[in-house]
Amino acid sequence: MRAVVQRVLEASVSVDGKVVDALDGPGLLVLLGVTHGDGAAEVRWLARKVWELRIMRDERSAADLGAGVLVVSQFTLYGDARKGRRPTWVAAAPGEVAAPMVEAFCRELEAVGARVGRGRFGADMQVSSVNDGPVTVILETPTARPRPDGTHRPEGAST
């Protein structure tokens, strides 16, 4: 999973000219991409990293402040434009795989106490934000490695 995390004063996401969710105060805007092989361990690791990341003012986290988080799925985070002029999206997980992963990420944030807003998966969205700082951080789950039982978890993940 890959996330672009922005500290914002406010943010909203609209579909067909109607706001579907918004942050009315300081918080985090998370643009979230899912790739092949992402699973529960990646969701858990990234959600906790976002929630506890100390990028709010005075070196505090969204968890410290109880700040809201607006999550917007964005498969284009896995675009590859190294060759030619047209990006390829083969590294992005297909929608039927990515949609439940994005929702699981949101639920994991809620489980640790976050107020979570959501974009609409697969929709043509308009995202508005007022960046604060600006502070923008790119996070990516560590490379998966096999466990002794054959399953995978991100390197560096504690569980």
Positions marked catalytic: 74-76
- 83 neighbors 144 (Cβ within 8 angstroms): no
Beta-carbon-side half-sphere exposure of residue 120 (alpha carbons within 13 Å): 13
Q: Alpha-carbon torsion 159, 144, 41, 129, what sign?
A: positive
One-letter amino acid of 133: G
Q: Token pair for residue 8?
A: 């914002």
